[in-house]
Amino acid sequence: MTDITERFLKYVSFDTQSADGTGHVPSTEKQWALARYLKDELTAMGLTDVVLDEKGYLYATLQANTTAQDIPTIGFIAHIDTSPDCSGANVKPRIIRNYDGGELVLDAEAGIVTRPEKFPELPDHVGEDLIVTDGHTLLGADDKAGIAEIVSAMDFLLHHPEIKHGKIRVAFNPDEEIGLGAHDFDVERFGADWAYTMDGSEVGEIEFENFNAATAKVKVHGVSVHPGYAKNKMVNAARVATEFAALMPETETPEHTEGYEGFYHLIAMEGSVEEATLTYIVRDHDRTIFEARKRRLAEVAEFLCGKYGPDTVTVDVTDSYYNMREKVEPQMYIIDICREAMKACGIEPHVKAIRGGTDGAQLSFMGLPCPNIFAGGLNFHGPHEFVPIQSMEKAMQVVVNICRIVGEGRLN
């Protein structure tokens, strides 16, 4: 068996950063390199039905080793790409053995230091072995830790045939970080009864609730007139845009909310006298409140149209994904199995709602119930990202135990 650390360090050597707006699938050519490497690795390990499709989605099977009847086919999924927010090229990981709880000096010369007072999760990992960056790139634990855990679990099961399990499907997809990871996922080809994405953070996390999400494009159409003669004629689109923003609830923004509280997030704003555009993302766990939030945008636009003239402000809202809870809750044994698997590893399960989205949300609405499990990394998408080796090992053990429990036919 290949050590999980060795496997992870190999994966992060690939630059797999995705990119918005390229019009390609995968969005970047460089994601193919890791996908092809994984295809060869899974084939060499002994998995079957290993297929890398024309869009960069990799599927494989660990065949059942039990003759028991009616064992469900389960799946495990992770994403190949890393975030566009920070470079993933030429990653230089370093292992800090037996972390002592102090500062992590990533680049002494450049003064790049990860300090416990800024990253309060650090003291929880005293005594563990942390893989960190050199302070100039992200690490890629999101989600190469998840890939390493799934592949290592399949390798472990192949080397331990005494652990009985049913048919297991694995898949690795591109473009999760730009919200497109599930768009071309072939649920029918995958053929699992349910699955788990390995894409969470801290040890023990189980996530089967996420935001309902939408993107709103607000367009303001002004009337440009020479400012010396503009009275009662000009409609300044840029100023109307600021008025629109001011009319939105001041405290219902990301910086004022937590837990199950939703928000409006103004992510872009540009314009001139003649035209202006605002882009919002809208989030809420509650579907009814989510719909009310979208109506609020339309109501503000209607108010401003009444003030400045018809069609001055238009709002185009596009739903992105919905809360997977409504698809997972009718089959809560999926979560119960995960809880039992964690407890068998000495892990206290911690169910939490995602203040964001996940491929599993979209997959759940595509007919594949798919909650999310911890992968162990922290401080994703930036140079202070790190992952404890022990967390990856625990995540791998959870995957093995889920396969064992399902293989024993112990469904609630």
Residue 391 near residue 5 (C-beta atoms within 8 A) = no
Token pair in block for residue 409: 């036919």
Give the helix/strand (H/E) hosting 246.
Answer: helix 237-247
3-state DSSP call for residue 205?
Answer: strand
> What are all long-range contacts of 23-30, with beta carbons under 8 Å and residues at least 24 apart?
25/55, 25/56, 25/174, 25/175, 25/180, 25/183, 25/184, 26/55, 26/56, 26/80, 26/81, 26/174, 26/175, 27/81, 27/174, 27/175, 27/178, 27/180, 28/81
Cβ atoms 74, 195 nearer than 8 A = yes
Among candidate residues 280, 298, 291, the one with its CA nearest the CA of residue 323: 291
Kindly name the residue from 176, 209, 252, 385 that is annotated as catalytic: 176
Rama region for 409: left / alpha / beta (φ>0; ψ in -120 to 50; rest):
left
Neighbours of 24 (CB within 10 A): 14
Listed residue (412, 395, 409) closest to 341, CA to CA: 395
To which H or E segment does residue 107 belong?
Answer: strand 104-107
CA distances to 55, 77, 206, 209, 316 from 370, rounded to whole Å, are 21, 9, 11, 11, 30
Nearest-angstrom CA–CA distance, 142 and 16: 11
- CA 140 vs. chain centroid, Å, equals 12
Catalytic residue among 41, 81, 142, 177: 81
Q: What's 120's DSSP letter? A: T
155 is catalytic: no
The answer to whether the CB of 144 falls within 8 A of the CB of 12 is yes
DSSP 369: -
> Catalytic residue at 188?
no
Which residues carry out catalysis? 81, 176
